[in-house]
Amino acid sequence: MRATRQPGKRVSFRLRENMQLYLIMLPVLLHIFIFSYIPMYGIVIAFQNYYPGKPFFSFESANWVGLQHFIDFFNGPYFGRLMRNTFLLSFYTLVFGFWVPILFALLLNELKNGIFKKFVQTASYLPHFISNVVVAGMVLSFINADGIINAMVKLFGGESTVALNTEPGYFPAIYTITSIWKSFGWSSILYLASMSSVDPHQYEAAKMDGANRFKQMLHITLPSIRPTIFILLIFAIGNLLSANSEFILLIYNPMVYETADVIGTYLYRDGLLGGNFSLGTAVGLFIALINFSLLYVANALSRKHSDYALW
């Protein structure tokens, strides 16, 4: 607007301005290029026989093997177990955990006493701030043969003195419960935020129509947070094949691999520690592609049927 009377000057001003702006962004753009895009290019080693020390930029020395590593993974002894565990652990957290923050937010919304409400909220966030290592350390000592869980079982007359962390059957429950415990309070923030934007007049109107608290919740509060629910559900579905392997790595052990070993932990153990870089990259790519397709499908379905979508 400043220079509409002098078109020539405006162009040079715009160019200079843009040079400045790009200079400001340069460190960020460079960083993203190096640490996000070069690793994406690095995926090419999934189609090669890569050995450590060889640069993955060079095409001449590359030993192309096509889809061999994918085929090896599909036919490998762990494929079924890994896919099942990865899917199941995320599925459990989704099915048993997704609605917990919603219910919790509804509960908080109904609490009238300000100070008490704050206290409950603060208490529920706390686990979110504690590191995975500490949570894992706590969980491991609680489920130990002489940990508090077994002590409680005995207190109520049970006989169980089994170490829960050596019993594959218990792992999914331990993982799911801990995940929900760690995140439900924090996840409820977004729901609470969208509840607080509801017009109070709606509640007044509903009251006049004779709606009780439960009905107000069902017909006003819940519909008003529906967009948030849908968006978070889409994200959760997009992560169905990425169980929290950083946390599993902390609480699992070889005795429970049967139900605990997931793609991420296998990738770390066999791909990184075992030096199978090409196979590991292939596995990572396979999962990333499935996750992205799931996200895409969930988003498309949601946009078609409910108008809520990420893009």
Q: Using CB under 8 A, which of the segments 65-73, 84-92, 130-138, 167-175 binds other proteins?
A: 130-138
Q: Using CB under 8 A, which of the segments 35-43, 61-69, 84-92, 161-169 binds other proteins?
A: 35-43
Identify the CA nearest to 307 among candidates 226, 232, 235, 236: 226
**Per-residue DSSP letters for 168-193?**
GGGHHHHHHHHHHHHHHHHHHHHHHH
Q: What is the closest distance, in whole angstroms, from the C-beta atom of residue 107 to other proteins in the complex? A: 6
Considering beta carbons, is residue 85 or 265 the nearer one to other proteins?
A: 265
Q: What is the closest distance, in whole angstroms, from the C-beta atom of residue 272 to other proteins in the complex? A: 6
Asked if 128 contacts 104 with a C-beta cutoff of 8 angstroms, the reply is: no
In the chain, the amino acid numbered 182 is K
Give yes or no for residue 195 binding other proteins (CB under 8 A).
no
281 φ/ψ angles, rounded to the nearest 5 degrees? -65, -40
CA pair distance 23, 259, nearest whole angstrom: 51
Interacting positions 240-259 with other proteins (CB under 8 A): 246, 249-251
Instruction: Give start and end residues of each alpha helix (H) in 156-254.
Output: 171-196, 200-208, 213-216, 222-224, 226-238, 245-251
Give yes or no for residue 235 binding other proteins (CB under 8 A).
no
Give yes or no for residue 64 binding other proteins (CB under 8 A).
no
The mark string for 65-104 relative to other proteins (x by CB under 8 A, - otherwise) is: ---------------------------------------x
Q: How many residues bind other proteins (CB under 8 A)?
A: 89
| Binder among 4, 5, 7, 35 for other proteins (CB under 8 A) | 35
